């Protein structure tokens, strides 16, 4: 029988990265994500990996992209201000189809904000932070063990689809310590990028096949709109290439959607949540069900691409939809769009750096449902 151990969210992320095969990390100190780099600075050299503290977050994400083209699974971790600095290179990773993982432990914002307080204010930035249309996958987690699993999953998706994957944590989860049994080697699937079978006539930007530098592919990598060979292209060629990299994620929206669906079969009211707030929702749903209310809960793990079909089917018979999130209203806009006026959609937010409590959520649902919303 394996024993439980007390593990912090940030440590679970770092350990998940090593488990997934991450062998390069570059970062810049920032609360509340710094423990990820501290752990990897100690542990990566032991497994032959490299951990670098860079001069800023622009350098961190750029070094990660360089390392990924060297063939390494690579990651960086930051919080709001650093995440803002990284946006240009995240776009570069998207258009150059560079596998990499970016962890953002969210804190109160904007700007320096509340560095030691919790927030879920980067949901839209994670999707649209860099300029231009681009593919991105954004995952989140609610529990320390889930941080580990989602970090592994983030690497798997990055490697499989040649795409930057963002893992949205938050200050509470990053610093939270929980008793967990973390996965053993072999327990979780670990995916690595696919290499070309042959280099003759190899087209490095035709699909998800990846040829690292030094492997003889004569690969040209550029952030400019490019053709399948990697050379600058404009007009129709540029549009076709961009459409391909957008569709490789968009067309897989349903299979990329990770979620928990609870008590939805008979639900009159549906709560949709993600990340740290899901923990409060779990308790709120328990309280409401004990009161005899037909409340269901959709717990989203994949935020982007936003799972339209899933949310539509889960809210089809609902008379009321509540989206609690620690911001002024971000993911709720997606829910509103999908629900399309079939039921009232409400947002429950906080900006003070404290968590939404189960009681707040339960009270809101009780008020609305009893009023016959």
What are the residues binding another protein (CB under 8 A)?
A: 23-24, 26, 45-46, 48-50, 52, 54-56, 58-59, 62-72, 74, 88-89, 92, 212-214, 216-224, 231-232
Q: How far apart are CA 257 and CA 335, in angstroms?
A: 15
Q: Is 31 exposed, middle or buried (0-12, 13-18, 19+ CB in 10 A)?
A: middle
Judged by beta carbon, residue 59 or residue 242, the one nearer another protein is 59
CB of 217 to another protein, least distance (A): 7
Location of structure tokens 């709120």:
284
User: What SS3 class is residue 351?
Assistant: coil
Q: Closest approach of Cβ 63 to another protein, in Å?
A: 3
CB of 67 to another protein, least distance (A): 4
Minimum CB distance to another protein, residue 57 (Å): 11
Give Cα separations from 137 to 46, 165, 365 (angstroms). Answer: 30, 5, 31
Torsion of CA 50, 88, 156, 258, to 10 degrees: 140
* Residue number with CB closer to another protein (212 or 261): 212
CA–CA separation, 260 and 304 (whole Å): 16
Q: Residue 242 or 314: which CB sits closer to another protein?
A: 242
Q: Based on CB atoms, which residue is closest to another protein, 5 or 56?
A: 56
Nearer to another protein, 26 or 356 (CB): 26
Nearest distance in Å: CB 325, another protein: 32
- For residue 361, CA distances in Å to 71, 151, 209, 288, 322 come to 46, 29, 46, 9, 9
């Amino acid at each position: 029988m394996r024993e439980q151990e007390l593990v912090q969210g940030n440590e679970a992320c770092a350990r998940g990265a090593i488990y997934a095969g991450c062998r390069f990390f570059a970062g810049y100190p920032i609360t509340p994500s710094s423990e990820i780099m501290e752990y990897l600075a100690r542990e990566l050299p032991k497994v032959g990996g490299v951990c670098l503290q860079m001069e800023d977050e622009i350098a961190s994400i750029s070094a990660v992209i360089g390392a990924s083209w060297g063939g390494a699974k690579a990651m960086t971790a930051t919080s709001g201000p650093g995440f803002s600095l990284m946006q240009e290179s995240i776009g570069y990773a998207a258009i150059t189809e560079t596998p990499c993982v970016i962890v953002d432990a969210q804190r109160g914002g904007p700007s320096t904000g509340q560095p030691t307080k919790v927030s879920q204010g980067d949901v839209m930035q994670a999707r649209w932070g860099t300029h231009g249309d681009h593919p991105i996958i954004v995952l989140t987690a609610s529990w320390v063990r889930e941080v580990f699993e989602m970090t592994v999953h983030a690497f798997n998706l990055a490697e499989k689809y040649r795409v930057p994957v963002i893992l949205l944590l938050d200050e509470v989860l990053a610093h939270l310590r929980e008793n967990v049994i973390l996965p053993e080697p072999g327990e979780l699937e670990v995916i690595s990028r696919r290499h070309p079978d042959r280099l003759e006539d190899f087209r490095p930007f035709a699909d998800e096949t990846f040829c690292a530098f030094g492997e003889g592919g004569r690969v040209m990598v550029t952030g400019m709109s490019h053709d399948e060979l990697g050379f600058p292209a404009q007009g129709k060629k540029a549009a076709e290439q961009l459409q391909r990299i957008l569709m490789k994620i968009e067309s897989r929206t349903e299979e990329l959607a990770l979620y928990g669906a609870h008590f939805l079969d008979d639900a009159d009211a549906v709560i949709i949540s993600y990340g740290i707030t899901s923990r409060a929702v779990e308790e709120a749903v328990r309280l409401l069900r004990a009161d005899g209310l037909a409340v269901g809960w959709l717990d989203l793990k994949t935020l982007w691409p936003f799972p339209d079909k899933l949310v539509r089917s889960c809210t089809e018979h609902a008379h009321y939809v509540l989206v609690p999130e620690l911001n002024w209203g971000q993911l709720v806009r997606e829910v509103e769009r999908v629900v399309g006026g079939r039921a009232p959609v409400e947002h429950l937010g906080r900006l003070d750096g404290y968590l939404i409590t189960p009681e707040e959520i339960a009270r809101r649902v009780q008020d609305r449902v009893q009023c016959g919303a």
